Amino acid sequence: MTEVTQLKVNGMTCMSCVGRVADALNSIEGAADVSVNLEQGLANFSGIPDNIATQAIHQLGYSVGSESSPIPQNDFNWTDGPTWKQSAHNTKWCLVGCSIGDFGTIAAFQFVPYLDALGWSTMSIMLLAMFNGIMTSIVLETIILTAQMALKEAFRVAIGMSLISMISMEAAMNIVDFVLTGGAKLTWWVILPMLIAGFLTPWPYNYWRLKKYGVSCH
């Protein structure tokens, strides 16, 4: 019977992390029975020496065993096509979640007479829209993750997403809205520029975070 080796992997925060670790282990010649558990932070495998597996995990930016922090990567660069693609995918899901709450809040104050009559300032509406956008992004991520883990763990992972990414995304969207419409307003022609700005603003940061530390926003 083949002996299964188990390593404690520190730094995994989402299913993208799990996929990266599993792919790295599976790419090693002779690897078999590879499984990675996000909730427990464990990687199980057989057929390869644990030091080779540890090195592969280190190269992703995660630490192993009792190490308390990810291993710095000295070969960071901005030319990794697969990482740009993965970070774009992560940013896209973040944008979907943020847009639901953001656009919904602006639309409510614009089209619901009761809310419009409250006389909220443009800044107040935009701040509320940003807050609601972050909340809906967390809810969406939780729903997506429940297909892979328990609800409690899914929520824990969701709230661990990058606030810097979401805040910069929300700020960019609302600044574009204000510049183009003069207020917190939704028109058919302003939505696309808002989405483009919301996607492009945090994308380089999400690439850096994923490339250097192996951590994604979604």
CATH of the domain at 52: 3.30.70.100
pLDDT digits (tens, 9 = 90+) for 128-157: 999 999 999 989 888 877 776 678 877 877
Please tell me whether residues 86 and 60 are part of one structural domain: no
Q: Angle, to 10 degrees, between the axis of helix 81-111 and the axis of helix 191-200?
A: 140
Domain-embedded: residue 14: yes
Please tell me whether residues 36 and 97 are part of one structural domain: no
CA angle 76, 79, 81 (to 5 degrees): 115
Q: In the predicted model, what is the mean pLDDT of the chain?
A: 85
- Say if residue 87's pLDDT is above 90: no
199: number of Cβ within 10 Å: 18
What is the structure's pLDDT at 216? Answer: 60
Read off the pLDDT band of 67 (50, 70, 90).
very low
| Residues contacting 61, CB < 8 A, separation 6+ | 11, 70, 71, 73, 211, 212, 213, 214, 215
Count of structural domains within the chain: 2
- Say if residue 104's pLDDT is above 90: yes
Least confident of 49-58, 128-137, 152-161, 194-203: 152-161
Please tell me whether residues 182 and 107 are part of one structural domain: yes
Domain-embedded: residue 71: no
pTM of the complete model: 0.68
Please tell me whether residues 96 and 186 are part of one structural domain: yes
Residue with tokens 């190490």: 67
Please tell me whether residues 47 and 90 are part of one structural domain: no
pLDDT digits (tens, 9 = 90+) for 42-51: 999 999 888 8
Domain-embedded: residue 141: yes
